[in-house]
Amino acid sequence: MSLPHVTRIAPSILSADFARLGEEVRNVITAGADWIHFDVMDNHYVPNLTIGPMVCEAIRPHTTAPIDVHLMCEPVDSLIPMFAKAGADIITFHPESSKHIDRSLGLIRELGCKAGLVFNPGTSLSYMDYVMDKLDIILLMSVNPGFGGQKFIPATLDKLRQARTRIDQWQNEGGQPILLEVDGGVKTDNIAEIRAAGADTFVAGSAIFGQPDYADVIGKMRSEIARAEAGI
């Protein structure tokens, strides 16, 4: 396994205080976070309803950090231009939610954003087979999407190793870099094994926003990541 050196922590604002979202975004970035993870739920693809392009536009002036939009919506093609216009840097969607995966990925990239596919715990990695050239990121869900605060599903570790192998092979053959992100139930006490399994980008919602000191949690996550890297 060839682990990329750079790692990113992407707090999910799903667990932030929605009444003070701009401040929460600024605080978590000041506390050392790299990206803002933005969970979009439509009460159709997933049984919950959250935030849309207007909220993305509203937080955009609060940070220069990349905004990582995770669409849990069906369909996605009409939303992609709205989020690109609202200042998204990365847009990911679930393959089951688009009738034309190749087209949706192409659309995201044409609009100047990084594009990615999201795999539910029960979704096969084979969806990436014919679109590797259009992927900037792969996101593995380690919970079923829809809610923050769920428990990490351990089978994700094996799936991460498989995804890492596919990415390594692709890059060794001259393909573009593809990031490997994980989302759901990531905490200070399991982030080391998640890193060792091959992830380079870590979404954490309740683990960060559920604590009073964001810098302390993020710092602990970074030392756990370093500990995993020392053992590889």
Q: According to the binding rule CB under 6 A, does residue 134 interact with ligand DX5?
A: no
Site mask for ligand DX5 (CB under 6 A), range 7-26, x = bound: -----x-xx-----------
Would you say 120 and 141 are in contact if contact means Cβ atoms under 8 Å apart? yes
Would you say 107 and 75 are in contact if contact means Cβ atoms under 8 Å apart? no
Nearer to ligand DX5, 87 or 205 (CB): 205
Nearer to ligand DX5, 87 or 185 (CB): 185
User: 101 to 120, contacts with ligand DX5 by CB under 6 A?
Assistant: none
Q: Which of 25, 33, 39, 51 is close enough to bind ligand DX5 by CB under 6 A?
A: 39
End-to-end CA distance of the chain: 9
Site mask for ligand DX5 (CB under 6 A), range 198-217, x = bound: -----xxxxx----------
Would you say 187 and 195 are in contact if contact means Cβ atoms under 8 Å apart? no
Q: According to the binding rule CB under 5 A, does residue 68 interact with Zn ion?
A: no
Nearer to Zn ion, 89 or 183 (CB): 183
User: 8 to 67, contacts with Zn ion by CB under 5 A?
Assistant: 39
Would you say 92 and 69 are in contact if contact means Cβ atoms under 8 Å apart? yes
| Catalytic position from the list 42, 136, 168, 183 | 183
Task: Count other Cβ atoms within 10 Å, centred on residue 120.
Answer: 17
Whole-number Å distance between alpha carbons of 94 and 45: 9
Whole-number Å distance between alpha carbons of 87 and 56: 7
Minimum Å distance from CB 152 to ligand DX5?
Answer: 8
Task: Please give the order of strands across the beta sheet that includes 137-141.
Answer: 8-11, 201-204, 179-183, 137-141, 114-119, 90-93, 67-72, 36-41
Nearer to ligand DX5, 47 or 103 (CB): 47
Closest residue to Zn ion using C-beta atoms: 70
Residues serving a catalytic function are 39, 183
Residues forming contacts to Zn ion in the complex (CB under 5 A) are 39, 70, 183
